[in-house]
Amino acid sequence: MEHSDVILVKCKNCGTINRIPSNKMHLRARCGKCKAPLELADFSGGMPVKVTDANFEMEVLQSPVPVILDCWAPWCGPCRMVSPIVDEIAREMAGSLKVGKLNVDENPIIASRFQIMSIPTLLVFKGGKLADQIVGAMPKAQILQRLRPHIPYS
């Protein structure tokens, strides 16, 4: 997993994708092309965010970048296969997207609002709207393929 050492951050000024070593995330990174400061704070350093019924609006619908919401439950075996894949995607594409984790047992309002019938389900939100729904465990390559239309740099 050497690739997890570098995260991709999009420059809001010129659109260049910068590769930032994750151990330099705390520094004031600048765009390699236009030297504009890169805003890393929004993306939690590529760490998935815990999403709940209470913070869904703020973390997901109001996110400036597309959000992949991993809907899971502790008793779900296939969820444990998808979870680390989603974590990897979060690190690799920090700055381009945000990854959230929603425990469907603890957050029934959101689970029923999006009619989540089986888990794992990945909900893809873009601009505050549901853009796609990926149901069931699948390999990383297939998940990335499904995300590609929604995330410019995947």
Report the distance separating Cα 10 and Cα 30, nearest Å. Answer: 11
Contact status: 61 vs Zn ion (CB under 5 A): no
Contact status: 148 vs Zn ion (CB under 5 A): no
Nearer to Zn ion, 11 or 134 (CB): 11
Contact status: 33 vs Zn ion (CB under 5 A): yes
Contact status: 119 vs Zn ion (CB under 5 A): no
- Piece of 27-35, 43-51, 84-92, 102-110 that binds Zn ion (CB under 5 A): 27-35
Contact status: 34 vs Zn ion (CB under 5 A): yes
Give the DSSP letter of residue 28: -
- Residues 61 and 125: beta-carbon distance below 8 Å: yes
How many residues in the chain?
154
Which has the closest alpha carbon to 64: 85, 39, 86, 89? 39
Active-site residue, selected from the candidate residues 11, 31, 71, 79: 79
Query: In the set 4, 5, 14, 24, which binds Zn ion (CB under 5 A)?
Result: 14
Which has the closest alpha carbon to 137: 68, 50, 72? 72
Whether 79 sits among the annotated catalytic residues: the reply is yes
- Whether the CA torsion 24, 28, 144, 106 is positive or negative: it is positive
Report the distance separating Cα 3 and Cα 91, nearest Å. Answer: 9
Contact status: 12 vs Zn ion (CB under 5 A): no
Whether 76 sits among the annotated catalytic residues: the reply is yes
Min dist CB 149 to Zn ion, Å, is 25
Report the distance separating Cα 99 and Cα 11, nearest Å. Answer: 19
Query: In the set 8, 25, 31, 124, which binds Zn ion (CB under 5 A)?
Result: 31
- Catalytically active residues, by annotation: 76, 79
Binding positions for Zn ion, rule: CB under 5 A: 11, 13-14, 16, 31, 33-34, 36
